[in-house]
Structure 1
Amino acid sequence: MASVKLYHFKNKVLKDETSPVHLQVIHKRKRRWFSTGVSVKSENWDPIENQIINYPKNEKKLVRKKNYHLKNLLMKAEGIILEFESLEKPYTADDVIAKLKGVDAALFAAFTDKIIEELKKQGKDGNANAYINTKSVFLKKIGKKEISFDEIDYRLLKKFETTLVKDDVSINGISFYMRTIRAIYNRAIKEGVARKENYPFEEYKIKNSKTQKRALTKEELIKIRDVDLTGKPAQAKARDYFMFSFYCMGMAFVDVAHLKVKNVVKGRLHYSRQKTSQLYNFELVPPAMDLISKYSDLKNPEDYIFPIIDPKHPDPYRCYRSRMQVNNYKLKEIQKLLKLSLSLTTYVARHSWATIAKRSGIPTAVISEGLGHTTEKTTQIYLDSFENEVLDAANRLITL
């Protein structure tokens, strides 16, 4: 069981010659501190009674208030410890401090659940599901129902990685889980739940492998654009969504699905990316505007532009996921029809825009901005296969 007491840092003297009083929490040989906001001189502090003494009469009310605050804080900490003990679940000294700070939970699963609820309220169901999946897989693989942030160290992450490798999870699949755990840990540090000095991702480095080539050539895109799909309405819709994504700088399918009439303003598209909330404002090129006009009369601001999400569906996210699966299946049919060597999915439009933009001489920084990447490093993963081709061709040109 954790212990708690007030501690006067008499060796730390402030400008007014007082020293701070902190709350000390010790659990499983780990010591943590919480600032009480009170500071006193050494001669005015009773370490046995944990209160301020020998104060001038004119400060009686103020000192009584401070002593009450310290006593109340001590009792609150003891109450938190008893609450944790009664739950019979693992907890740390950091969890006690987190509760004192008003943070809901310092345990990994509980803290992740808090983030998931926030994401759902923000309508970011895709991100929420990524966190749900990561939490579930992580706890299952390490054999625990709950874990504190203190326990997530280099050795545990390597153990988790090893179990994923044994299950034939790809390097990029492992990277996905690790990046999600890292994002949760970073958030916990910002909220004062986890300790920065225990951050495991300084030692543990997340690995990535080059993404398989997913980019089409201009000629292949023209084939998709011009293919005769008369009598195949489902394939025609899939093709239209694919081409619209390409015309809009590789817009993600989830963003295409969520576009509403109100997002179109004077020939420009204003929208917030579902994944990152990044705001976009760009001119719609004529082919993109033609596709919008094909599916919407642009009269009701709240109407979806494309018939992907059913506005009456009780779970819009499930509706979107279902339609995306159907859409990808129809793209595969187009791929077979045109005998394309590359597996056709909604994501190919994104990679194709990035690669063709690079081939057209557009700087990587501009492409990164268009794709909504936070760093050029992510964009470079898209372009790696293209860069190899260009270097090979250049080398052939100068070979003697």
Structure 2
Amino acid sequence: MATTKIYLDTRAVKPGNPARLKLSICHFRSRVLIPLEAKVLPSQWDDAKGKVIKHPDQMRLNIYISRSKEKVDSLLLGLANEGVLATCTIAEIKQYIIDILNPKLAETRAREAENKKKFSYQYKEFANKHTENTMKIYMHTYSRLSAFAKENDIDLENILFEDVTREWLSNFDAYLAKTSPSQNARNVHLRNIRAVFNEAISNEVTTAYPFRRFKIKPIATRKRSLTVDELRTLFNYPVQEYARVHRDMFKLIFMLIGINAVDLCHLKEIVNGRIEYSRAKTHRLYSIKVEPEALEIINRYKGQDWLINALDRYTSHQDFIKHINKALKKIGPMRRLAGRGGKWEIEPLFPELSTYWARHSWATIAASLDIPKDTIAHALGHGNSTVTDIYIDFDQDKVDRANRKVLNWVLYKKKSASYSVPKGVSRSASKGVSHSASPIE
């Protein structure tokens, strides 16, 4: 049989301060303390009688603690008579008692447990686990869900996972199509919803999964890569100084196997000839060998606190990317328009060019050189994170040779993976000697 006693917990309480009264429960040599809503000074507590003394509100407090103990004793007796007490753990007993002594808390906990089954609650919890930028993407989807729910008189805050059926998703997709004709753009929202379902299933919140029947079908998009000849044209095209700097950043991204611009901005150092970082988007670890051509660009744009000076010149990586992409779209032949004080007109070589094209271009050219798909996938971080991926290290040298082969073909028209100091690249760059830095405009 479990036993109970009122206990004044003076541990960690400074002299002269009141301590909290607690209900001590012993069960099979285990003990738990459950806090009561009462505090008194040690001089105001008679431990032998289990009563408050010399306190201006002692009558109310004694009635409160007496009734609390009676409730608990009654509960324990009932559990004992039902034969349940003998199989209860001390933690289970504690939870029973907390519910008895604080019904409002029990009600709140029950409500929270019910909320956790709801799609809306789990969606917001899932979004909040991510970085700020990723969270914004998920919450943008939630804003579209809210608009859809309002139009269709759906109580989004209270729907369960089981309510999100194949038909429900089809109707949501049709709603999105009114303002977003691009299926791929709509697929972003649908994949966000699917990610929440996957998380909820993993956490055993639900077994419902409408995506077994509702398929997200991507639509092939126009190419976002440059051919070898186009890359050579871009890399060697005569440009103004401001554009040369931004083109150098595009070249650097390409030479670092399509590194994301946000990760490029936040690189700190080169260690043993390599850059090593955790990608901001996926948190996957990367290790890329810095080839001499890339090192020459890095040395030209050294930063104060970072490897390159992008964040020395711009307020954020977003601002940096915006300026690069704007400059890339302005590379091309220029002609002055007719008329007095005529303006210059640019005919862009590649009107839609952006930093993202560097990554696609690297992968496309690597494939054209018959570099194995698994090597390309590993270079781009497209592994599946399987048990095999975790316990068997991929031969990083394969990726290094693949990148060298791509650079040799694009820069020097040589289809080999070997490196010798080519014309146009200083020997100091191949040895890692710093050059004077130029600012990014």
- State the TM-score, normalized to the length of structure 1: 0.64
SS of 1:282's equivalent? strand
1:245 matched residue in structure 2: 253
Matched, 1:164 2:173: no
| Displaced runs of 4 or more, over 6 A | 59-62
> 1:118-151 CA distances to partner (integer Å, 9 max, x unpaired)?
32xxxx3332221121121222223255243332
Q: How many residues align?
A: 292
Q: Which has the larger radius of gyration?
A: 2
- Paired residue for 1:370? 379
Corresponding residue of 1:354: 363
Q: Which residue in 1 is equivalent to 2:188?
A: 176
- Residue number in structure 2 paired with 1:259: 267
Q: Distance in 2 between matches of 1:81 and 1:158?
A: 39
8 Å Cα contact 1:108-1:148 kept in structure 2:
yes
What is aligned with 1:288?
Answer: 294
- Answer with 358-367 or 137-146: which moved more: 137-146
Partner of 2:228: 218
CA deviation vs aligned residue, 1:253-305 (integer Å, no higher than 9, x gap) = 222222223xx1021110111110110112111111111111117xx6xx222
- Once residues 155 and 78 of structure 1 are traced to their aligned partners in structure 2, the CA distance between those partners, rounded to angstroms, is 41
1:281 counterpart SS class: strand
Is the CA contact 2:246–2:324 (under 8 Å) kept in the aligned structure 1? yes
Match of 1:209 in 2: 219
Whole-Å separation in 2 of the counterparts to 1:50 and 1:160: 52
Residues 80 and 310 from structure 1, CA distance in 2 versus in 1: closer, same or farther, beyond 3 angstroms?
A: farther
Cα distance in 1, alignment partners of residues 228 and 192 from structure 2: 35
C-alpha spacing 1:347/1:76, structure 2 compared with 1 (3 Å): farther
Equivalent pair of 1:255/1:273 in contact (CA under 8 Å): yes
- Give the residue type in structure 2 aligned to 1:96: A
1:223 touches 1:338 (CA, 8 Å); kept in 2?
no
Distance in 1 separating the partners of 2:144 and 2:378: 33
Instruction: Give a deviation string over 1:222-278, Cα, whole Å, max 9, x none.
Output: 222222334x32x222211111111111112222222223xx102111011111011
| 1:130 aligned partner | 137
Deviations 1:150-186 (A, max 9, x none): 3222222111101111223311111111111111221
Q: How big is the shift at 1:361?
A: 0.4
Residue 335 (structure 1) shift: 5.2
Aligned equivalents of 1:136, 1:128: Cα separation in 2: 12
CA contact (8 A) 2:224 2:361 kept: yes
1:68 paired to 2:97: no
- Return the alpha-carbon distance in structure 1 between the equivalents of residues 161 and 200 of structure 2: 8
Separation of aligned partners in 2, 1:73 and 1:62? 19
Q: Distance in 2 between matches of 1:266 and 1:70?
A: 56
Alignment-derived partner of residue 44 in structure 1: none
Q: Is the 8 A contact 1:52 1:67 kept in 2?
A: no
Q: Which residue of 2 aligns with 1:19?
A: none
Q: What is the identity, as a one-letter code, of the residue corresponding to 2:365? A: I
CA distance in structure 1 between the partners assigned to 2:118 and 2:186 by the alignment: 22
2:121 is aligned to: 110
Distance in 1 of aligned mates of 2:294 and 2:326: 23
Letter in 2 for 1:212: R
Q: Distance in 2 between matches of 1:180 and 1:204?
A: 14
Aligned-partner SS, 2:329: helix
1:294/1:312 Cα in 2 relative to 1: closer, same or farther (>3 Å)? Answer: closer
Deviations 1:26-50 (A, max 9, x none): xxxxxxxxxxxxxxxxxxxxxxx98
- Per-residue deviation, 1:325: 1.9
TM-score by length of 2: 0.58
Distance 1:159 1:50 in 2: 53
Residue of structure 2 equivalent to 1:323: 320
* Partner SS for 1:179: helix
Q: Give the match for residue 344 of structure 1.
A: 353
- Map of 2:277 onto structure 1: 271
CA gap of 1:291–1:68, structure 2 versus 1, over 3 A, is: same
Pair 1:75–1:321, CA change in 2 (3 A): farther
Residues 304-328 of structure 1 deviation map (CA, whole Å, 9 limit, x = unaligned): 2233335995xxxxx2223322221
The answer for the alignment partner of 1:25 in structure 2 is none
Contact 2:311–2:317, Cα closer than 8 Å, also in 1: yes
Amino acid at match of 2:113: V
Aligned equivalent of 1:46: none
Q: Which amino acid aligns with 2:259?
A: M
Alpha carbons of structure 1 residues 169 and 373: separation in structure 2 relative to 1, 3 Å: farther
**Residues 77-134 of structure 1, C-alpha deviations (whole Å, 9 max, x = no match):** 975784499xxxxx8xxx6267xxxxxx443343333334332xxxx33322211211
Query: Contact 1:142–1:159 (CA<8 Å) still a contact in 2?
Result: no
State how far apart, in whole Å, the 1-side matches of 2:278 and 2:91 are.
49
User: Could you say if the C-alpha distance between residues 341 and 240 of structure 1 is closer, same or farther in structure 2, counting changes exceeding 3 Å?
Assistant: closer
Paired residue secondary structure (1:269): strand
Letter in 1 for 2:230: E
Matched position secondary structure for 1:265 = coil
Larger % of helix: which?
1
Q: For the residues of structure 2 that align with 1:191 and 1:173, how far apart are their CA atoms?
A: 28
Contact kept in structure 1, 2:180 and 2:186, CA below 8 Å: no
Inter-partner Cα distance in structure 1 for 2:195 and 2:249 = 31
Q: Which amino acid aligns with 1:165?
A: A
Cα distance in 2 for partners of 1:76, 1:258 equals 53
Say which SS state the counterpart of residue 298 (structure 2) adopts.
helix
Distance 1:169 1:137 in 2: 15
Shift in Å, 1:354: 0.6
Aligned-residue RMSD, C-alpha: 3.4
Match of 1:229 among 239, 254, 267: 239
